[in-house]
Amino acid sequence: MPSKRYRLKLATWMVVRESGEPSPRILKDPATAALLARDLVEASDDDKEHFWVVLLNSKHRYVMHTEVSKGTLNASLVHPREVFGPAVREGACTILLAHNHPSGDPAPSAEDRELTSRLKECGKLLGIEVLDHVIVGNGTGRWFSFRDTGSL
């Protein structure tokens, strides 16, 4: 009989910032975006694919992030309405896309490339720049940036 893996959350925390005070985290380059994406992947700590959108202001300062999709071992369903909905509601100027590959290999799939292209076009229509799409390989520390490779 296979063993089951359980995870119990013992504590939660909330970070509160005074209104009008900008976030100290600036995400202008792929390396800093990858650091945030790795933090998000480590916090999820399971064998499923997760997709997040990170909202940024006009100076590329972190505003907030939200998980758009939690998928299966090798896929997650992502629709532009779930990605851009929070960005429109919160008045984000720029967004960063991040997701993980539970296999550990951060190389983008054909579906990842198609989704990135589609979301970039949707962002153009809404006037919200897609700064980057970062893929992190679970447990490897390796990452792939669409911006870094000129694919965005």
The pLDDT tens digits of the residues spanning 37-60 come to 888 777 776 788 889 899 998 888
Query: Taking the C-alpha atoms of 50, 80, 134 and 62 in order, what is their torsion angle to the nearest 10 degrees?
Result: -90
pLDDT under 70 in the chain at which residues? 1-27, 45, 72-76
Q: pTM score, two decimals?
A: 0.78
Domain ranges for the chain: 30-145
CATH topology of domain 30-145: Cytidine Deaminase; domain 2 (3.40.140)
**CB–CB of 106/112 below 8 Å?**
no
